[in-house]
Amino acid sequence: MAKRAKTTHFGFETVGWDEKQKKVGAVFESVASKYDLMNNLMSLGVHHGWKRFAVEASQVRPGQLVLDLAGGTGDLTRLFSEKIGPSGLVVLADINAAMIEVGRNRLLDQGLINNIKFAQANAEALPFADNSFHCISMAFGLRNVTDKAAALRSMYRVCKPGGKLLVLEFSKPVLPGLNKVYDWYSFNLLPKLGQLCAGDASSYQYLVESIRLHPDQENLKAMIEDAGFEDCYYHNLSGGIVALHIAYKY
């Protein structure tokens, strides 16, 4: 009997294991130039508060080394850059060259390049030495990774002992009644916004579907601990629409 090909999810579609990365890449190639505008529209600007909360929770200090995975257009990188000062370093890493280009240009325009480097990198196999970073963040990127467990193990490898992991990601609403409102908004309005503002409804349909298939708070906590991190806990933000998971490498 022929061996069955390994599959995974691309939104609600089942695709070959090796196809997802290319399909996700095409999504972000399409939305890169409008990514910041769409984030502001989709979250009504609230995403800035989620990201500030995450960076404050990181407690990074001047001189430290930070890896901002799926760093995209540089929102967290900018905030980390201010925290770690001229003696520190933030590496903005993303698998997508178009997103890195938008982020680099944006940060250059803001004059925030002296303590920032850029790397095109796959989170599943990070091209950094063991025990390199005091803090690793990944905001709104883990759900797009094909092998999340491999990515978390790779993050553990490059995290310094005593270092910290932050995963900021859409999650499962916990407030009574919020799920129905959130589903209606997500499936009815977001693809229409994507078509209107970015000329691309299908990419935003995928993003909505990918959120629904992402592990909930407790399952993601278990995955992070399975990768080797310890003392994982999470903060629900905006009623659990987003959760910030924090864990440590000892």
Write down the pLDDT at residue 56: 98
Classify residue 49: in a domain, yes or no.
yes
Report the range of poorest mean pLDDT among 59-68, 153-162, 192-201. Answer: 192-201
Write down the pLDDT at residue 88: 97
* Number of domains making up the chain: 1
Q: How far apart are CA 33 and CA 17, in angstroms?
A: 28
Classify residue 75: in a domain, yes or no.
yes
Exposed, middle or buried, 26 (CB in 10 Å: 0-12/13-18/19+)?
middle
* Domain ranges, residue 60: 44-174+215-248
Tell whether the torsion through CA atoms of 146, 152, 158 and 163 is positive or negative: positive
Classify residue 16: in a domain, yes or no.
no
pLDDT digits (tens, 9 = 90+) for 48-105: 999 999 999 999 999 999 999 999 889 999 999 999 999 999 999 999 999 999 999 9
For residue 120, give the CATH number of its domain.
3.40.50.150
pLDDT digits (tens, 9 = 90+) for 6-49: 899 888 888 899 898 988 888 888 878 777 777 887 788 899 99
- Percent of all residues in the chain with a pLDDT value above 90, rounded to a whole number: 67
Compute and round to an integer the Cα radius of gyration of the chain.
17
Let me know: does 31 contact 197? Beta carbons within 8 Å: no
- The pTM (predicted TM-score) of the whole model is 0.92
How far apart, in Å, are the Cα atoms of 52 and each of 28, 63, 80, 122, 239? 23, 20, 10, 25, 17
